[in-house]
Amino acid sequence: MKTIYENGIIVTMDPNQPQAQSLVTEGDKILAIGSQRDMFDLAGPGCKVVDLQQGVLFPGFNETHNHLSWYAIFKTQAFLGNCRTIADIVKAIANHYENTDSEVLRAYGYDDTGLLDGREITRQDLDQACSDKPVVVMHVSAHVGFLNTKALEFYNITSNRKPPAGGTIHFDEQGLPTGRLDEHAWFEIAAKSPVPGSSDYKILLKAAIKDYNSQGFTGVHDAGLGLEDGAETVISSYKELEAENELNLKVFISAISHIFDKLHVRPLKSFTSMLTIGGVKLFLDGSIQVETAALKEPYLRRPDWRGEFIMDGDEFSELVEKYHCAGHHISIHGNGDAAIEKIITAVEQAQRKCSLPSRHMLIHCQTVSKKQLLRMRGCGMVPSFFAMHIHHWGDRHANLFLGEERAHRINPVGEAEAMGLPFTLHVDTPVRPVQALHSIHTAVNRVTSAGKQFGGHLCCTPYSAVCAYTSMAAYCSRSEQVRGTLSPGKYADMVLLSKDITSCPKDTIKDTSVWMTISNGRLVYES
């Protein structure tokens, strides 16, 4: 049956036909767009009519860097993102796990720089939440973790324990572990976070997908498969949901290298199904807000510290060459400008070895310079900016981590736009809550939570910010022929918004509501 969408504005993001009055779908595809009269003539008298109620229909949003499968697991854990004191954290963990038989008590969303106490949590603090079971807390950056005394014992982290390469175990003045683990020392523990059994996990995954649909998402890049234990359960759950016609968004999976190698993935040519295992995820540095991102100049509070690389440079370059020359898509984590420099150099070297078209993504790209962006354009890389850092951590970047000058040019989306470099935006869920509209708002306005504008000349246009979640997001996964714009023949992936975010007052974008989300022609969310 044909379906006609009318009584609204259609913003296609297709430069060949930017707007229309009506749109007709048939099955999971867009059949045509045009005037209301022409579309009714095409749809015929027996068509289904969807009243857009004066809303504005856009292509569905596509999040190009997040951890959907990880986020599903976290839905069972204590959330600490609203805590403002260490006492709040202790209470939140204790309350969440009251009357449960969990072997290990896990929590996420902790942000030390948002606490009034002015210090980090310690194992002694977490002992107050629970002293007879292991307590494991993930920092909001996902690059640092904190353990109580029982957890340190459980994972055999003692005074004599040596950290893995690219990781740090913190010790107090007595030589005892404080409970803080950085980068690979933390990743070893995080990887032991078990995925629930298949049936339970599938329920959590469906709930997580509903959260994405409610924010207008019809596609995600689930990056870093293997960060948690149980990659097989994750993949099988996705496949079961797809077979049951309940995978209500298109999922592009990037796996960490040792998992990717086991999957024997074929080089990505195109993206046509609901589930694609299509890329490999590499890391080179950490996070600015825990001072582990690799910078060229020292951190503001630590004049003798520039962060660190979490992988040997030669090993990293060899991996980039290996996957590039095999024709695979690579997503590479890089926050600091020193790490970004090494990443771009490695891709340039790989392209000299194997002259293949690439759309490798440089994830986060926080402190990238204009010269580095020009080099990225030259070698076909796509920056995926974490613009929400400006709003959420911008003031702390200026006052604690980077200083005013560097903080004011983080995530320079306007520079990328001006030089014609395709870019995308992301919020790295569960690092930040699932959403696209506030991310678009921040890229356009660059205003911090304290109301300060950072680098006004580096704002991008609303149109480019929306492209970053639609047409450019599709480009990254080589799927621009089948999605990303509202064009005839493409998938009917759409989001109905309360207003046109490409033309409304810029400072009101974040106040827009999602009214409806359609995936493959099916209604998957309605407010």
Rounded to an integer, what distance in angstroms lies between the CA atom of residue 377 and that of residue 173? 48
Are residues 263 and 155 part of one domain?
A: no
Is 396 in the same domain as 452? yes
- In the sheet that holds 48-51, the strands lie side by side as 29-34, 22-26, 2-6, 48-51
Within 199-309, strands assigned E span 217-225, 250-256, 275-283
Does 367 lie in the same domain as 297? Answer: yes
**Same domain, residue pair 120 and 176:** yes
278: domain CATH number is 3.20.20.140
Query: What's the confidence (pLDDT) of residue 120?
Result: 93
The angle at the Cα of 66, spanning 423 to 467, to the nearest 5 degrees, equals 30
pLDDT score recorded for residue 267: 81
Helix axes of 337-353 and 313-325: crossing angle, nearest 10 degrees: 40
DSSP letter at 447 equals B
DSSP letter for each residue of 383-434: EEE-THHHHHHHHHIIIIIS-HHHHTTSS-HHHHHHTT---EE--TTTTS-S
Neighbour-count burial of 269, counting CB atoms closer than 10 A to its CB (0-12 exposed, 13-18 middle, 19+ buried): exposed
> Which of residues 136, 161, 190 is at a domain's end?
190
> Is residue 521 domain-resident?
no
Beta pairing, strands 144-147 & 135-139: antiparallel
Query: Global pTM?
Result: 0.94
The pLDDT score that the predictor gives to residue 197 is 73
* Alpha-carbon Rg for the chain in angstroms: 23
Q: Is residue 497 part of a domain?
A: no
Do 340 and 415 fall into the same domain? yes
Enclosing domain of residue 91: 77-190
Asked whether residue 94 is assigned to any structural domain, the reply reads yes
User: Is residue 108 domain-shared with residue 140, that is, in the same domain?
Assistant: yes
Residue 414 amino acid letter = G
Whether 475 maps to a domain, the answer reads yes
For residue 135, give every residue at least 6 positions away whose Cβ sits within 8 Å of its Cβ, in sequence order, or none. 93, 104, 105, 106, 107, 126, 127, 129, 147, 148, 150, 151
**pLDDT given at position 78:** 93
Question: Contact, 328 vs 356, CB < 8 A?
Answer: no
Name residue, tokens 């920092």.
Answer: 139
The CATH number linked to 132 is 3.10.310.70
Beta-sheet strand order (sheet of 382-385): 61-66, 217-225, 250-256, 275-283, 329-334, 361-364, 382-385, 424-425
Give yes or no: residues 469 and 336 share one domain. Answer: yes
Strands 9-11 and 56-59: parallel
Looking at 463, 483, 503, the residue that finishes a domain is 483
281 belongs to a structural domain? yes
| pLDDT the model gives residue 459 | 99
**Domain end residue (candidates: 137, 164, 190):** 190
150/254 same-domain check: no
Q: What is the pLDDT along the chain (527 residues), one digit of tens a residue?
A: 899 999 999 999 999 999 999 999 999 999 999 999 999 999 999 999 999 999 999 999 999 999 999 999 888 899 999 999 999 999 999 999 988 888 899 999 999 888 999 899 999 999 999 999 999 999 998 899 999 999 999 999 999 999 998 899 999 999 999 999 999 999 899 888 767 777 789 999 999 999 999 999 999 999 989 887 788 899 999 999 999 999 999 999 999 999 999 988 888 766 667 999 889 999 999 999 999 999 999 999 999 999 999 999 999 999 999 999 999 999 999 999 999 999 999 999 999 999 988 899 999 999 999 999 999 999 999 999 999 999 999 999 999 999 999 999 999 999 999 999 999 999 999 999 999 999 999 999 999 999 999 999 999 999 999 999 999 999 998 999 999 999 999 999 999 999 999 999 999 999 999 999 999 999 999 99
- Burial grade of 62 (CB within 10 A; 0-12, 13-18, 19 or more): buried
Three-state SS annotation for 167-208: EEEEECCCCCEEEEEEHHHHHHHHCCCCCCCHHHHHHHHHHH
* C-beta separation of 280 from 328 below 8 A: yes
- In a domain? residue 58: no
> Of 161, 158, 157, 137, whose CA–CA distance to 147 is shortest?
137
Q: What local confidence, expressed as pLDDT, does residue 268 receive?
A: 72
Domains held by the chain: number? 2
- The answer as to whether 82 is a domain residue is yes
Task: Kindly report the number of other CB atoms within 10 A of residue 21's CB atom.
Answer: 17
Instruction: Tell me, yes or no, whether 142 and 250 share the same domain.
Output: no
Length of the chain: 527
Amino acid present at 431: V
Type of residue numbered 348: E
Same domain, 152 and 224: no
Integer Cα distance of 30 and 495 in angstroms: 14
307 and 453 co-located in one domain: yes
On whether the CB atoms of residues 208 and 200 are closer than 8 A, the answer is no
Identify whether 245 is part of a domain: yes
Co-location of 370 and 230 in the same domain: yes
